[in-house]
Amino acid sequence: MAKSSNRLPSEASPVKNRIFSQLISWATTPKGISTILLGKMALKMAIASAISLIIAQGLRWEYPFYAVIAAIIVMSSTHGSTLRLGIQRLIGTAIGAITGAIFAIALGSNSWSLGLCVFLTIFFASYWKLNEAAKLAGYVAAIAQRVQQENNNQD
């Protein structure tokens, strides 16, 4: 009787090694390092947002959403206002409103949805070099999620 094996075919090993090697090579390039750092920053803000919401809800705050705003503000740095930054803020508002609404409709308004939404919004806005937009997009995405949750509760 032939034994079945759960192992991949022998050809998979060289392919896997090549993909892993390419990933390591990319991660050591300036763009790879920059992308990893952006992801790290977005992940920290997303985790802080989700945790702050969970804690505020656990404490039964009347407006737990403001804990999310505070977490994002505290985790981000401030910059002076210029026309370029103002335009980025407008872009961030649009990105956040659209992303927050999409996530609230698709995944509901909960801590996981909020955390994922804030992470992706901040990460991609930062990746596209819209650093000032990234922070505001995170705030507005979280606000859009909260508004959707309140609308659902009223129905």
CA distance 155 to 52: 26
Radius of gyration of the chain (CA): 20
Decide if 119 is inside a domain: yes
Q: In total, how many domains does the chain have?
A: 1
Decide if 81 is inside a domain: yes
pLDDT at 80: 47
Structure letter (DSSP) for residue 28: T
> Residue 99: which domain range?
30-154
pTM for the full predicted model: 0.54
Q: Each residue of 25-76: pLDDT tens digit?
A: 988 899 989 899 888 888 888 998 899 899 989 988 777 877 887 777 667 6
Decide if 3 is inside a domain: no
CA distance 86 to 99: 20
